[in-house]
């Protein structure tokens, strides 16, 4: 009688491996179907002048970024997120960075045009809308108002030393933040730069609110509004303590569900929440430097770096291998502002490598190492200009 046991032992692992590979292939195919490869929407602003690259460094990229900001900023100060279709609107967040970028390179008059536009559409009460048309109307497309706008606009106004010119904007935005803070010290849920509904507070909202309140306190103190300064300072302390309590020590996108204490000598880590690139806003040039935040930024960059070398918005973002240029540029700005010139140069060179044929900075870089999405993207261009400025001299920190 023949014993087939040994032969079955030999072929069984091969069958198991084949089945597993089939499952993996099916999963990969399904993921690609759900997350198709993004392509380039536009190579640059039509009719805009282009520059000729010089020696391959990122100096030329800075000049292109400034030229693209000029093209995207309309005469009335509307700083468009992009030139085409769904990007041809003004997000308070993106416009705030454009104003700060102009101020960082000494072009105050251009920054004032952008701030004038924001001042013209500001909400006297309530949250800033997600986006506005180029003529200043709120866009009603089902997107919820976004609380982070209050923080970003305050920071840009402070950065440009314009609090005296826009005091009502400062007061209304800062008071809105105060109104939003709950008994636990955190604001209620709000969409943030991920542009999606949220069921709990996110770091994408909390981080810019901290920066905004710090900026508001600075402006109120300088302009001698002691009552406002005291009120906003108390709110800042409340929000700061709540942020450390709920998001520390890793500062993930949403409060960690638990904290795991490892062996003695090792830092505890948060469980759940997922790394988010907005952790960069907890440090320079948006906030004073702290060692624990430095570590959180470094951990987040390691977790979010994609195979193509760029950064994805967060661990809970779709897993499609696509890198986003604003988030990559945020880490470049963070590194430059913290004096890490090597990391800043590495990330800026990556951004430079994947510009479009016209020199524009695209929204994304896809899995095939191709520029994708809208180009130029105003937020990325502004961040690149700020990072370049930070390498030249320290940026102010509220």
CATH number, residue 300: 1.50.10.10
Computed on alpha carbons and rounded to an integer, the radius of gyration of the chain in Å comes to 23
Tokens of 2: 């023949």
Q: How many domains does the chain have?
A: 1
pLDDT in tens, 86-104: 999 999 999 999 999 999 9
Angstrom distance (rounded) from CA 160 to CA 115: 9
Is 248 a domain residue?
yes
Angstrom distance (rounded) from CA 140 to CA 143: 7
Helical packing angle, 226-247 and 167-180, nearest 10°: 40
Cα 283 off chain centre by:
13
Mean pLDDT, residues 19-37: 53
Angstrom distance (rounded) from CA 380 to CA 325: 6
pLDDT value at residue 43: 76
Is 397 a domain residue?
no
Mean pLDDT, residues 354-376: 96
By three-state DSSP, how is residue 372 classified?
A: strand
Tokens of 60: 């030329």
Angstrom distance (rounded) from CA 148 to CA 193: 8
Q: pLDDT at residue 193 above 70?
A: yes
Is 283 a domain residue?
yes
Report how far apart the first and last C-alpha atoms of the chain are (Å, whole number). Answer: 85
Q: Please say whether the beta carbons of 347 and 14 come within 8 A.
A: no
**pTM for this one?**
0.88
Residue 192 structural domain: 39-50+68-392
Bridge partners (DSSP) listed for residue 365: 323, 371
pLDDT value at residue 272: 59
Is 288 a domain residue?
yes
Is 33 a domain residue?
no
Is 4 a domain residue?
no
Local confidence band at 44 (pLDDT 50, 70, 90 cut-offs)? confident
- Token pair 């402070």: residue: 158
Q: Please say whether the beta carbons of 206 and 239 come within 8 A.
A: yes
Is 301 a domain residue?
yes
Is 6 a domain residue?
no
Backbone φ and ψ for 146, nearest 5 degrees, come out as -120, 120
């Amino acid at each position: 009688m023949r014993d087939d046991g040994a032969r079955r032992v030999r072929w069984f692992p091969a069958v198991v491996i084949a089945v597993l590979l089939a499952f993996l292939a099916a999963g990969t195919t399904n993921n690609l179907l759900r997350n198709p490869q993004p392509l380039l929407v536009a190579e640059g602003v039509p009719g805009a002048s282009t520059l000729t690259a010089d020696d391959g460094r990122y100096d030329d990229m800075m000049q292109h970024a400034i030229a693209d900001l000029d093209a995207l900023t309309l005469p009335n100060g509307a700083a468009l997120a992009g030139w085409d279709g769904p990007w041809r609107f003004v997000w308070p967040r993106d416009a705030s960075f454009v104003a700060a970028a102009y101020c960082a390179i000494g072009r105050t008059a251009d920054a004032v045009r952008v701030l004038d536009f924001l001042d013209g559409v500001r909400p006297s009460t309530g949250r800033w809308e997600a986006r506005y048309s180029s003529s200043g109307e709120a866009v009603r497309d089902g997107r919820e108002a976004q609380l982070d706008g209050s923080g970003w606009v305050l920071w840009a106004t402070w950065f440009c030393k314009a609090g005296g010119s826009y005091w009502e904007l400062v007061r209304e935005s800062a008071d809105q933040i105060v109104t939003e803070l709950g008994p636990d010290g955190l604001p209620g849920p709000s969409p943030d730069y991920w542009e999606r509904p949220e069921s709990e507070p996110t770091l994408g909202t909390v981080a810019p609110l901290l920066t905004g309140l710090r900026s508001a306190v600075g402006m109120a103190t300088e302009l001698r509004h002691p009552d406002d300064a005291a009120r906003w300072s108390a709110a800042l302390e409340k929000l700061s303590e709540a942020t450390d309590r709920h998001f520390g020590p890793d500062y993930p996108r949403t409060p960690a569900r638990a904290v795991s204490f490892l062996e003695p000598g090792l830092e505890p880590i948060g469980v759940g929440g997922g790394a988010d690139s907005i952790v960069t806003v907890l440090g320079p040039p948006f906030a004073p430097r702290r060692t624990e935040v430095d570590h959180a930024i470094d951990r987040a960059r390691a977790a979010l770096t994609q195979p193509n070398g760029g950064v994805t918005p967060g661990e809970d973002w779709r897993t499609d291998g696509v890198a986003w240029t604003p988030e990559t540029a945020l880490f470049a700005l963070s590194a430059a502002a913290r004096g890490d010139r090597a990391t800043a140069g590495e990330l800026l060179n990556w951004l430079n490598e994947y510009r479009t044929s016209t020199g524009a900075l695209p929204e994304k870089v896809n899995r095939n190492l191709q520029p994708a999405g809208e180009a130029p993207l105003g937020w990325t261009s502004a961040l690149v200009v700020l990072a370049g400025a930070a390498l030249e001299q320290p940026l102010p920190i509220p």
